């Protein structure tokens, strides 16, 4: 069996605020001195506040030790952290004369934007030496194109085609630079929580044979990170059956539901994965790999929003965020339920929303996948189901609100 380090991953939920310790200390003091009255501004109050602050620092520091231990264990097992990627683009450089120019590798270019009255620069470096050929006078100034890479890891603002780039490296032979094509944004490095979640999944998969659904699920996610984005494994389930929740269990059967990078996997991809899985599981098990059923639902909501915002922009932003949150890529996969409060929370994430005055969730299409409503939640009865919400399934009634 693989080791389970999940209990050591994160204790930050045990963090406490100095304010809580301060009030708890006062209550504890009153158990001994019922008439104890701590007046603000006194030396005693200052001491209580200082003790509360120092205690909170110690508690919160201790709660972060398990993260460090888990990072060390993961690195010893050869599981690296994802540092992210750098943005890239193709830049067109224009020589200052018809004689052309030779641009050395590592020439620095910058894309400038203004945010909150501040000028922000995102710097790129040329990947190779660029030779700009000369041409005859009377023609446009000669140009050349070179690939460039951002100096920093992570996501940066989108750089449009023909956007001007500032030349940071001093050169007497260059006149201007601009982005012409090939902009691909970078990916942010993963957070500590994301890394530890991946590391725990990896450690659970480290075994010579996969005999439980958790081991098999962990193996799939860590072995095919570029191909499998969502995986759910059910034991005692025949893949040729109805696959409904509550159906009778079938010994010796596993069913694997897979979803790819924003698409269903092809038959060839599933066959390749199945051959790998069969080789690494206990002999005698009957394993089937099938696509995750995709279901959608309707959202009808009345939203009270800050009247200083444009209602159309707010509505579009809410629909886009909610549709993404309940897309196959990000929807919850732990249970067969659409929670009313989760949808409500997703709508209220927009800073322009004052209050959601009404919200209803209703099922659409794929009737065999849906079971019933329990309270305000929606229940689907098909195992391995992923939600596939689109903006067309979201209806918002926008009501302006003005504090004045």
Is there a single domain that holds both residue 277 and residue 362?
no
Is there a single domain that holds both residue 305 and residue 395?
yes
Is there a single domain that holds both residue 244 and residue 343?
no
Paired with 233 in beta bridges are 256
Contacts with 179 (C-beta within 8 Å, 6 or more apart), sequence order: 89, 90, 91, 92, 111, 159, 160, 161, 162, 163, 165
Tokens of 292: 């995750």
Is there a single domain that holds both residue 298 and residue 395?
yes
Residue 1 inside a domain? The answer is: no
Whole domain around residue 111: which residue ranges?
A: 86-184
- The structure's pTM equals 0.54
Is there a single domain that holds both residue 298 and residue 394?
yes
Residue 351 inside a domain? The answer is: yes
What gap in Å lies between CA 346 and CA 341, rounded to an integer? Answer: 9
How many domains does the structure of the chain reveal? 4
Q: From 66, 86, 85, select the one nearest 74 (Cα to Cα).
A: 66
pLDDT of 210: 57
Tokens of 138: 């009377």
Is there a single domain that holds both residue 319 and residue 221?
no
Paired with 259 in beta bridges are 230
Residue 90 inside a domain? The answer is: yes
Residue 199 inside a domain? The answer is: no
Is there a single domain that holds both residue 173 and residue 264?
no
Is there a single domain that holds both residue 218 and residue 278?
yes
Residue 197 inside a domain? The answer is: no
Mean pLDDT confidence for 225-240: 92
Is there a single domain that holds both residue 345 and residue 278?
no
Residue 192 inside a domain? The answer is: no
Is there a single domain that holds both residue 303 and residue 285?
no
Among residues 266, 291, 316, the one where a domain terminates is 291
CATH code for position 270 = 3.30.300
Residue 216 inside a domain? The answer is: yes
| Residue 124, pLDDT above cutoff 80 | yes
- Per residue in 234-292, pLDDT (tens digit) is 999 999 999 998 888 888 899 999 999 889 999 999 999 999 998 888 777 899 999 99
Is there a single domain that holds both residue 380 and residue 325?
yes
Among residues 269, 291, 313, the one where a domain terminates is 291
pLDDT of 205: 66
What gap in Å lies between CA 51 and CA 389, rounded to an integer? Answer: 50
Tokens of 179: 């982005």
- Per residue in 37-49, pLDDT (tens digit) is 888 888 888 999 9
Is there a single domain that holds both residue 141 and residue 215?
no
| Residue 79, pLDDT above cutoff 80 | no
Q: What share of the chain is helix, strand, coil (3-state, %, to 5)?
A: 30, 30, 40
Among residues 119, 150, 184, the one where a domain terminates is 184
**How far is CA 2 from its chain centroid?**
27
Q: For the chain, how big is the Rg over CA atoms in Å?
A: 29
What gap in Å lies between CA 248 and CA 338, rounded to an integer? Answer: 24
């Amino acid at each position: 069996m693989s080791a389970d380090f999940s209990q050591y991953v994160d204790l930050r939920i045990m963090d406490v605020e100095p304010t809580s310790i301060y009030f708890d200390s006062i209550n504890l003091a009153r158990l001994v001195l019922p008439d104890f009255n701590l007046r603000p501004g006194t030396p005693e109050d200052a001491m209580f506040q200082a003790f509360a602050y120092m205690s909170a620092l110690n508690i919160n520091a201790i709660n972060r030790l398990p993260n460090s231990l888990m990072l060390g264990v993961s690195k010893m097992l050869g599981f690296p952290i994802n540092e992210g990627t750098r943005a890239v683009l193709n830049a067109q450089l224009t020589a200052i004369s018809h004689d052309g120019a030779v641009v050395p590798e590592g020439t620095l270019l910058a894309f400038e934007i203004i945010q909150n009255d501040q000028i922000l620069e995102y710097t790129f470096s040329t990947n190779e030496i660029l030779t700009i050929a000369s041409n005859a006078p009377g023609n446009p100034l000669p140009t050349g194109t070179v690939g460039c890479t951002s100096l920093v890891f992570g996501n940066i603002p989108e750089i449009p085609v023909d956007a001007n780039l500032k030349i940071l490296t001093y050169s007497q032979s260059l006149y201007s630079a601009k982005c012409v094509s090939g902009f691909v944004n970078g990916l942010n490095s993963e957070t500590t929580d994301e890394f530890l979640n991946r590391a725990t999944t990896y450690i659970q998969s480290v075994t010579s044979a996969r005999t439980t659904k958790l081991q098999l699920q962990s193996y799939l996610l860590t072995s095919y990170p570029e191909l499998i984005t969502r995986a759910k494994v059910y034991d005692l389930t025949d893949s040729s059956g109805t696959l409904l929740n509550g159906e009778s269990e079938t010994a010796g059967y596993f069913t694997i539901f897979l979803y790819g990078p924003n698409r269903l996997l092809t038959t060839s991809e599933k066959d390749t994965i199945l051959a790998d899985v069969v080789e690494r599981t206990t002999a005698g098990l009957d394993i089937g790999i099938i696509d995750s059923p995709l279901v959608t639902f309707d959202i009808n909501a009345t939203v009270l929003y800050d009247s200083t915002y444009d209602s159309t922009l707010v509505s579009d932003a809410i629909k886009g965020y909610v549709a993404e949150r309940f897309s196959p890529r990000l929807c919850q996969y732990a249970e067969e339920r659409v929670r009313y409060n989760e949808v409500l929370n997703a709508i209220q994430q927009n800073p322009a929303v004052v209050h959601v005055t009404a919200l209803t969730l209703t099922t659409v299409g794929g009737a065999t996948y849906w079971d019933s409503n329990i309270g305000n939640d929606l229940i689907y009865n098909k195992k391995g189901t992923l939600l596939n919400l689109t903006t067309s399934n979201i209806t918002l009634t926008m009501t302006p609100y003005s504090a004045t």
